[in-house]
A = this chain, B = another copy of it.
């Protein structure tokens, strides 16, 4: 895939005005790459999955039914790594995973694949994947030729998709006071209330006030929930 071709896609993705446009672009990219499949999909902060891709709808349903996301090494790897994932290099050693791969191959997916992990604020996570049914060697040259451009494409896809999907997080306007952030941060770091209070040089009771008010602002049921929400909203950095 030549740089000029990429440019064309970026322009078009940039100009997309509906998710259907993205759907068409995905197919187009698959054809241009002569890939087996191309899939762009993302997960919002509530865990809902959206996507545009050339996978068989039946496979998508089957995947969700079997809860394959819990063992799929691509999903696991994308959460932990920053670089594009060559499926070949993932850990396929356990039995569950091998069964899953066999199932996917029966559905016409793989065995080769390249997945670009992409992240957004608020727990959003997206992937751009290209799959191939070829040999390792052939895939290596595919990867060499297209890997970098897939990163860029994935990035643009993601921005557009987030724009178009109007995914809104109800809690996005929550703002915590500096002391509330301090309190939740130390709790997230594993401090007990008394340790956190000591560290901040305030009484434990005062600390409690911050935790409580942060809890209410975040509509959280308890401290753990508040910390989890704050983390997901990017309110804390630990």
Contact = CB atoms under 8 A, between A and B. Distances in A.
A178 interface: yes
B152 A80 contact: no
Nearest to A14: B148
Contacts of A192: 221-222
A202 to B, nearest CB: 17
A187 B221 CA distance: 10
Given A82-B120, A152-B155, A224 B47 contact: no
A233 interface: yes
B228 A189 contact: yes
A197 to B, nearest CB: 15
A224 B187 contact: yes
A235 B77 CA distance: 10
Interface in A222-238: 222-225, 227-228, 231-235, 237-238
Task: Give me the 7 closest cross-chain CB pairs, A-B, nearest first.
Answer: A190-B225, A190-B221, A79-B234, A188-B228, A119-B119, A82-B120, A224-B224
10 contacts: A10-B148, A43-B237, A79-B235, A80-B121, A80-B233, A81-B121, A117-B121, A188-B225, A189-B225, A190-B221
Interface of A: 3, 7, 10, 43, 45, 47, 70, 79-83, 117, 119-125, 148, 151-152, 155, 158-159, 162, 172, 178, 181, 187-192, 220-225, 227-228, 231-235, 237-238
Given A80-B234, A82-B124, A119-B119, 16 more contacts: A3-B3, A70-B181, A80-B121, A80-B122, A80-B233, A82-B162, A119-B120, A123-B238, A152-B155, A187-B225, A189-B228, A190-B220, A190-B221, A190-B225, A192-B222, A223-B224
